[in-house]
Amino acid sequence: MFVYIAIFLGSTKIPHDEFVRRILEVDEEKLNDELITSLIKNLPEGDTIQNVYKRKDEFDDMQEAEQFCVKVGSDNSSDWCNSASYLENT
C-alpha cells in the first residue's frame, strides 16, 4: 500500500519532517510542480490514508511512509486526497 510513497520519499532526499513542513506551510519556494505531481502520483488511495490516520495512536509502530501520511493527513484526509486528485487532473 505504501510502497510507492516510501520509494518516492526516499528518492527526494528531503528529510520527512522538512517535507511535511513544506507541504503544510505550502512553501512555494521549496515545492515545485514536478515534486507535487510526483507526490500526488505516489500517494496511496484516500481510503488507505484515512485508515492509517485512524491508527495514529500507533504512530511509533508505523513505517516511515505511514507516519508521513499521518503527519500530512488529518481527520479530513479524504479532503486532502480529493484535492490531490483534483490537482493531478488539472
Per-position DSSP letters for 22-37, written without gaps between them: HHHTT-TTT--HHHHH
pLDDT at 59 over 90: yes
| CATH number for the segment(s) 3-88 | 1.20.58.630
pLDDT of residue 45: 87
Mean pLDDT, the chain, integer: 82
For residue 59 the three cell numbers come to 504512530
Helical segments of 3-76, H only: 3-12, 16-24, 33-42, 46-54, 64-72
pLDDT of residue 63: 94
Q: How far apart are CA 57 and CA 38, in angstroms?
A: 28
- Nearest 5°: the CA angle 46, 43, 26 is 95
Global pTM value: 0.74
pLDDT of residue 46: 83
Question: What number is the average pLDDT over the span 26-50?
Answer: 88
pLDDT class of 74 with cuts at 50, 70, 90: low
Question: In the block, which residue shows the cell 490537482?
Answer: 87
